[in-house]
Chains A and B, each alone.
Chain A
């Protein structure tokens, strides 16, 4: 399998679901244990105010009354959500029909992610959106029979991962503060996403901020190129990607991104080998 750097769609999807499932479990447990509960009435985003953002939730209706009940105690749905995420990971690990069970489990997981977005987008980040892409792709193809279902899901995840990195890289390349190196220095100077030691290091070494900015931009834009090249270069590139997200988790506290984005890598590996096969013909 990996000795020729290819991965079957089912193996790729299993690996993606295990990594994403573990990441989702982490996020859900983090949300459940915050004190006061982040999504509770005493938290920073109480439902009685957040609901005013949309007409459909602001006005009195059967839907809004149902949401009121559901969101009055977040643990009512966060704890079952953790169970679904755990079941999905377990099913993905088991051989045979486990993947089919995991694909079905992606449906309630996607619904819960949707509920989370309705409850409050304040506080959610790109890791949430990538989780939505992963589990949404799997959920939408859950009942597609045969090998086509996993292939569609894996392909969708891979394409969206490439788009994510490409858009991120191009947006940075278009920004003067990224091109001149100021961006990373500025981000590291914040307490929210920065790191005092990393900030001091960037100030101490001349040109380090510029190097880091261009490294990030080139990595992100090159992601889709690496996916087309495939083989060993892609495997090495994805290894660099894991290190990239690990360093972001360490420096910026974005631990959710580590799981959400690296989870897409097995699907990218499979899609690349599929593309290789198509082009070889």
Chain B
């Protein structure tokens, strides 16, 4: 067999094998690759399982003036509405999915940091910084705002009353 063919077969087999190992929840491969950027390229294939997403996440923010909070406002652009045309053309799916990914990662990291007794470190995580930066940009549209705070709220058609899943610190605008 040609050397190129042998090499290609070996590489493809190894990659497929790694994909299979990543599927096992307690596999050493998942533990090894789970936290590094290379591991993100390995597919998991566990769509909506074992725990399916059954809530919507919304990012909301509010201004703080003289120790008093203002009303919560939703960042609608982060969770665009679904439309019938989405079956064919759905550019807003990226924002919607990104909001879910960021919210879930922040919630998971907060839980881990809380368990480690270091909940303050949440502000150093990438999802927190992403949301803080985004909120800062929103707040900058209102020059009078000096401080802001953001939150992630969860709801669904089954449970329409929004409940806070994460509330940030108050930051200077």
Contact = CB atoms under 8 A, between A and B. Distances in A.
Partners in one complex: yes
Given A143-B4, A152-B12, A191-B81, A44 B46 contact: no
Contacts of B79: 191-192
A141 B8 contact: yes
Sorting the interface of chain B by its residue count into under 10, 10 to 19, 20 to 34 or 35 or more gives: 35 or more
A208 to B, nearest CB: 15
Contacts of B52: 175, 177-178, 183, 186-187
A154 B45 CA distance: 19
A193 interface: yes
A171 B46 contact: yes
B100 interface: yes
Given A117-B40, A249-B86, 18 more contacts: A45-B98, A45-B130, A52-B129, A120-B98, A121-B40, A126-B45, A130-B43, A136-B15, A144-B4, A148-B2, A156-B12, A156-B16, A171-B49, A174-B50, A178-B52, A183-B48, A255-B87, A256-B90
B99 interface: yes
Interface stretch (A93-101, A158-166, A272-280): A158-166
Interface string B21-44: 001000000000000110011011
Nearest to B156: A189
A9 to B, nearest CB: 13
B108 to A, nearest CB: 14
Nearest to A32: B91
B157 A38 contact: no
Contacts of A130: 43
Interface string A31-71: 10110001000111110011011101100000000000000
A267 interface: no
A1 B28 CA distance: 44
12 contacts: A34-B92, A44-B77, A45-B98, A144-B5, A175-B50, A187-B52, A187-B53, A190-B157, A192-B97, A253-B90, A255-B87, A256-B93
A167 B129 contact: no
B152 to A, nearest CB: 13
B82 A191 contact: yes
B11 interface: yes
Kindly name the residue among A57, A132, A146, A253 whose own CB sees the greatest number of chain B CB atoms within 10 A: A253
Given A137-B12, A189-B156, A171 B37 contact: no
Main DSSP-derived SS at the A contact region? helix
Interface string B68-105: 00000000011101100011111111111111111000
B20 interface: yes
A21 interface: no
B171 to A, nearest CB: 15
A149 B78 CA distance: 43
Interface in A111-134: 114, 117-118, 120-126, 129-130, 132-133
B101 to A, nearest CB: 4
B156 A133 contact: no
B168 interface: no
A163 B16 contact: yes
Given A54-B37, A144-B8, A192-B56, A30 B130 contact: no
A235 to B, nearest CB: 24
Given A34-B94, A44-B95, A54-B37, A145 B16 contact: no
A122 to B, nearest CB: 4
Interface in B86-137: 86-102, 126, 129-130, 133-134, 137
Contacts of A49: 126, 129-130, 133
A186 B157 CA distance: 9
